[in-house]
Amino acid sequence: MLKIYLDRFRQNRLAVIALVAIAFLGLLAVFSPWLCPKDPLMQNLLERLEGPSSRHWMGTDDLGRDLFSRLLLGTRISLSVGFVAVGIELVIGVTLGLCAGFLGGKFDTFVMRLVDVMLSIPTIFLILAVLAFLGPNIYNVMVIIGLTSWPGLTRLVRGECLSVRERDYIQAARVSGISTPRILFVHLLPNVIAPILVSATLGVAGAILTESALSFLGLGVQPPSPSWGNILSIGRDYLHIAWWLSLYPTLAILFTVLAFNLLGEGLRDVLDPRA
């Protein structure tokens, strides 16, 4: 079965390219402190707002810091936010979805009403309100994005669980006296893992976009730590004289989010039993 999935995945060229791009970004994120040609935090006002050249491949910002080095380090921050936030989302969303779908009754009703309430609140406004109370920093951003992203995944997992729980092997497990946690995570979870993987992949892209938006507004990663969003925010003030400050972080966000979306679409095509 795994070989069939791999063969189908290899046939999707865009998904393969996206996977290679994500792997490359992951390597950049891991080794970015050693790959930066210059100190991304070092200021040099004599070189401020210099255009791309052999000395500064992507130019410098308003404080003379090397933009290429800051984008490299920003890769680590953006991917960290994406993966940590989605990790939190998976823990909450999968657990609640499995329990609600399998147990049903009052617990299912409570979880679904809670999901309805969460989905009725605009996520970005909820995040802004919480950050205004707790204060903006990278750890708060990771946690808050994760804590506000789980309702959609919960609803998805619950729907899949409702269709799986009536199958014969689940009923046999219940009759044989196997504990509920074992049924949930050993018998149910492997059979609903496909939509979870797709949702998680797309969720990373969404978390990166949210972090970039928050940093652009000054409520995400705080200077001098570089993130694609706060670099873009600086570029907004110098758009007419320093186009590189807006172009390169925009391209970084665009290609990263596009890669995760293409990978998610590819996984959905591969894992969908109706395909």
End-to-end alpha carbon distance in the chain? 15
pLDDT per position in the chain (275 positions), as tens? 667 777 788 888 898 999 999 999 999 999 988 888 888 888 888 888 888 888 888 888 888 899 999 999 999 988 999 999 999 999 999 999 999 988 888 898 999 999 998 888 888 888 888 888 887 888 888 888 998 889 999 999 998 888 888 787 777 877 787 888 888 888 888 888 888 988 999 999 999 999 898 888 888 888 888 889 889 988 888 888 888 999 999 999 999 999 999 999 888 888 765 55
Q: What CATH homologous superfamily does 2-32+67-271 map to?
A: MetI-like (1.10.3720.10)
Count Cα atoms within 13 angstroms, Cβ side, for 10: 6
Q: Kindly give, in sequence order, each residue whose CB lies less than 8 Å from that of residue 268, ignoring residues fewer than 6 positions away.
A: 195, 198
The tokens describing 47, both together, are: 């070189």
Tell me, yes or no, if the pTM score tops 0.85: yes
For the chain, domain boundaries: 2-32+67-271
Burial class from Cβ neighbours inside 10 Å (0-12, 13-18, 19+) for residue 249 reads: buried
Residue of 121, 135, 134 whose CA lies nearest to 218 = 135
- CA–CA dist 135, 26 (Å, integer): 28
- CA–CA dist 189, 196 (Å, integer): 9
